[in-house]
Amino acid sequence: MAGGVSVPTLGAAVCEAGGLGFLAAGYKTADGLYQEIKQLRSLTSRPFGVNIFMPQPEYADPAAVDVYAHQLAGEASWYETELGDPESGRDDGYDAKLAVLLDNPVPVVSFHFGTPGPDVLDSLRRAGTFTLVTATTPEEALAVEMAGADAVIAQGVEAGGHQGTHRDLPETDGSGIGLLSLIAQIRETVRIPIIAAGGIMRGSQIAATLAAGASAAQLGTAFLATPESGASAVHKQALTNPLFVRTELTRAFSGRPARGLVNRFLREHGPYAPAAYPELHHLTSPLRKAAAKAGDAQGMALWAGQGHRMARDLPAGRLVEVLAAELAAAQEALGVRPARGGVR
Ligand SMILES: Cc1cc2nc3c(=O)[nH]c(=O)nc-3n(C[C@H](O)[C@H](O)[C@H](O)COP(=O)(O)O)c2cc1C
């Protein structure tokens, strides 16, 4: 979880409890990533993963970005800040981060927003790294398998944060496929293992995804609420605040569909925000920072999956244990043998 959520202490707590903790490389410098890997390694000797954003092709309409900037002028004056420069960079330091991961191989690397080519996946494999790529449709899963990834993350529309859609075309409405249906469709399309993601908050849901054909589950929002997560207190509290009852996919904050709690900013700007990632991410960055500094939940990107109201304020390691126990209980009730390795 990029944006300061997946800090090394969270990853380490998950790993120590038997889960597979992740570091987020998104929005970080290559050196920042290197330092976090070092820190995580000092906290745990167990396997962990690093998540990378794929660089984005240029297809945003500059005029649409300009119009959006005009529409956000009132926000900038309200938060007493300037809008960010939409041209601050498109590739998120992809090559440099990849170099860090090839020089200092980690056990698992996952990719979001597209699939790398076979050459990249091959070099990672030769470095001893297991590779995962997110897919939101069976077609994307096929591309992932054909590129040579070791496994595919099936990300359902329920998922919090950005959809890992490979190409966010302006004419699409950003809607996606529900997780159980997606797993079934991907299962019939590819042979590589599937990791289920989206709206999973309880061990019983992990059992359901395993029964549907997944080999493992990936949880975001459930860990967003833990004390170890780097999310702001305002974000954590909003997850279970009755003021926020709905989530929606929106391009309002970043220019790519991402699921967040419906707040004022999302309601007002979501309907006309253009498909322009990462331009809108850079454009709105100072607004989001100013809102966070003011503790104003109505102006922040409150990323959350559809299950946010079931978030539990448990330490991350304890949450892994509780999920594993719930999974075992659900599997016993179903009469299926518990999966080896619990929630891993
Ligand atoms: C705050 C937040 C940040 C996220 N950041 C990333 C990211 O940097 N890279 C990524 O691949 N997925 C990211 N995701 C999506 C997760 O990988 C996963 O698909 C999602 O959390 C699953 O749905 P859930 O939140 O309902 O558990 C993020 C999700 C959240 C909630």
The verdict on the CB of residue 112 being under 6 Å from ligand 1 is yes
Yes or no: say if 203 and 328 are a contact pair by the CB < 8 Å rule. yes
- Ligand 1 centre distance from Cα of residue 1 (Å): 5
The verdict on the CB of residue 238 being under 6 Å from ligand 1 is no
- Ligand 1 centre distance from Cα of residue 341 (Å): 22
Please report, as a single letter, which amino acid is at residue 306: Q
- Ligand 1 centre distance from Cα of residue 77 (Å): 31
From 51, 113, 162, 228, give the residue whose CB has the most ligand 1 atoms within 8 Å, as the site to mutate: 162
Three-state SS sequence of 202-252: CHHHHHHHHHCCCCEEECCHHHHCCCCCCCCHHHHHHHHCCCCCCEEEECC
Q: Which tokens go with 299? A: 């102006």
Strands (E) located in the chain: 22-24, 49-53, 108-112, 130-135, 151-155, 161-162, 194-197, 216-218, 247-250, 258-261
Number of neighbouring beta carbons within 10 Å of residue 283: 24
Q: Which tokens go with 114? A: 């597209």
The verdict on the CB of residue 232 being under 6 Å from ligand 1 is no
- Ligand 1 centre distance from Cα of residue 80 (Å): 30
Q: Fill in the DSSP letter of residue 87.
A: T
The verdict on the CB of residue 200 being under 6 Å from ligand 1 is yes
Q: Report pTM.
A: 0.96
The verdict on the CB of residue 197 being under 6 Å from ligand 1 is yes
- The closest of 217, 241, 226, 231 to 303, measured between CA atoms, is 231
Q: Which atom of ligand 1 is nearest to the CA of 304?
A: 31
Phi, psi dihedrals of residue 330, rounded to the nearest 5°:
-65, -40
What is the structure's pLDDT at 344? Answer: 43
Measure Cα distances from 248 to 119, 244, 263 in Å: 36, 11, 10
pLDDT by 10s per residue, the chain, length 344: 999 999 999 999 999 999 999 999 999 999 999 999 999 999 999 999 999 999 988 778 899 999 999 999 999 999 999 999 999 887 889 999 999 999 999 999 999 999 999 999 999 999 999 999 999 999 999 999 999 999 999 999 999 999 999 998 777 766 789 999 999 999 999 999 999 999 999 999 999 999 999 999 999 999 999 999 999 999 999 999 999 999 999 999 999 999 999 999 999 999 999 999 999 999 999 999 999 999 999 999 999 999 999 999 999 999 999 999 999 999 999 888 665 555 44
Measure Cα distances from 177 to 137, 190, 262 in Å: 7, 17, 20
d(CA 322, CA 226): 13
The verdict on the CB of residue 22 being under 6 Å from ligand 1 is no
- Ligand 1 centre distance from Cα of residue 160 (Å): 5
Kind and range of the H or E run holding 314 = none
Residues 302, 308, 309, 313: is their CA dihedral positive or negative?
A: negative
What is the structure's pLDDT at 60? Answer: 82
Q: Which atom of ligand 1 is nearest to the CA of 155?
A: 19
CA 226 to the chain's CA centroid: 16
- The closest of 268, 267, 269 to 252, measured between CA atoms, is 269
From 1, 133, 155, 300, give the residue whose CB has the most ligand 1 atoms within 8 Å, as the site to mutate: 1
What is the structure's pLDDT at 175? Answer: 73
> Phi/psi zone of residue 113: left (φ > 0), alpha (ψ -120 to 50 degrees), beta?
left
Which residues on adjacent β-strands are paired with residue 110? 51, 132
d(CA 173, CA 168): 9
What is the structure's pLDDT at 325? Answer: 97
Alpha helices in the chain (DSSP H): 8-16, 30-43, 62-71, 73-78, 94-103, 118-126, 138-147, 179-187, 203-211, 221-224, 233-240, 264-269, 279-293, 316-334
Protein residue with least CA distance to atom 12, ligand 1 = 1
d(CA 257, CA 191): 28
What is the structure's pLDDT at 343? Answer: 47
